[in-house]
Amino acid sequence: MDRRPYEAKLDLKSPNRNISPITSEIDEQGKLMVGGCLLSALADEYGTPLYVIDENSLRTSCKAYKNSLAEHYEGQSLPLYASKANSSIAISTVICQEGFGLDAVSEGELITALKAGIAGENIVLHGNNKSKEELKLAYEQGVNIVIDNYHDIQLLESIVIDKDRPANIMLRLTPGIECHTHDYIKTGHLDSKFGFDPDQLEDVLIELINKKWALLNGIHAHIGSQIFELEPHRDLASVLADALKLAKSIGHPVKNLNVGGGLGIRYTESDDPPSINEWVKCISTSVSNACKERDLELPRLICEPGRSLIAPAGITLYRIGSRKTIPGIRTYLSVDGGMSDNPRPITYQSLYTACLADRPLNEADETVTIAGKHCESGDVLIQECLLPKSESGELLVVFATGAYNASMSSNYNRIPSPAAVIVGDGMSDLIQQRQKPEDLLSFDLLPKRFER
């Protein structure tokens, strides 16, 4: 069978427009497979909860960005993976193999990227409160450092001793552009902790021109995440082009224009994000036109997709446990994970789609609330989930969980983190080991005065 669950408009070229990974298929027994692997077999082998990453979906998304940039932008370009979405050596290695650079926001993400073989010159370090240790490592590795505020400038000035080897920096500005997304993931509006405000731009550019330790090679802005609109990105191009022209007029050799990321994905049937090609065409055309209008040479165009690369490639597998029916109100189905492996519903009120792994095409006959196992009333993964009548022990698949699930996970209630596997061509490989309860004690210390 070639039917795929919940796919009204399967897009094999732009996985962000699909709910399930592009390799999803139903076997002869009616069970769901991803990457040529039977999901229930993966759960039996690796346990649950289990993060599963479809290699084909991830590589397809990478190629879509690379090919679209080559098609629509006349100048040089470099897509970066916003690794805060899901950082691991294996995922970063795939990204590197596909010709991407990487966007890091911490020393841990930076070390992971370097371990995966990504060259420092193709890494960008972000952050509104970078530590001296993070900046020092970035400088030593030749990483492009995004200057977010004057604190960054002061710290870097104390780090860069060798004036013959200046730090490669980009300047982040707050463009003042609103987009329709969750308040917590809006970063381009003026009331933001990120970046220099527009009225600070000229002053900081003048200050930096006299800093021999600094080589300003780029301008950066980011307007938010999970965005379905294209118009804000058109507006951003004009703001960035104005900043680029100002920087060049002051004498900075700026060659990079970094538009950030933000392309949304399809979590539910009602979501309708642009394709990767549509998004790239929009930013490419907008940047080209804005630069030509200002008589500027085309800069190297940098973008930073994260969610749109990795989220559609990921699913999470859970075992269903207890059932509680409150007549006339709701039925709770509890699973063996929850807010510790997916904090997005309780944090952002995020919506997800789910099905039963071994009965994905069975007629749904009840609406249930998928609850987590944590000691928290708000630990609910899906408020209203339409499923066939299920039994304890059945396997639940939650789609589009590749971004901000593992990376935002916690050990709340001292629950161990799930394992993660990557699947492709019928093979599965462990990329992150499952924690054991005793692992959570490894950093605990008992003061001697407490001993009896």
The residues annotated with a catalytic role in the active site are: 375
For 42-66, b/e burial (b = at least 16 CB within 10 A) is bbeebebbbbbbbbbbbbbbbebbb
d(CA 290, CA 48): 50
Side chain identity, residue 235: D
The strand pair at 25-26 and 380-387 is best described as unpaired
CB-based contacts of 108: which residues, under 8 Å, 6+ apart?
87
Between the alpha carbon of residue 376 and those of residues 230, 373, 379, 392, the distances in Å are 38, 8, 5, 21
Count of CA atoms in the C-beta half-sphere (13 A) of 318: 29
Most distant CA atoms of the chain, gap in Å: 77
For residue 448 the two structure tokens come to: 């001697």
- Considering Cα of 262, then 267, then 272, then 277, what sign does the dihedral take? positive
d(CA 449, CA 364): 59
For residue 209 the two structure tokens come to: 């021109």
C-alpha angle with apex 386: 351 to 5, nearest 5 degrees?
80
For residue 91 the two structure tokens come to: 């995922």
For residue 86 the two structure tokens come to: 């899901």
Place of tokens 């070229």: 13
Q: Which of 357, 382, 278, 384 is nearest to 16 (CA)?
A: 278
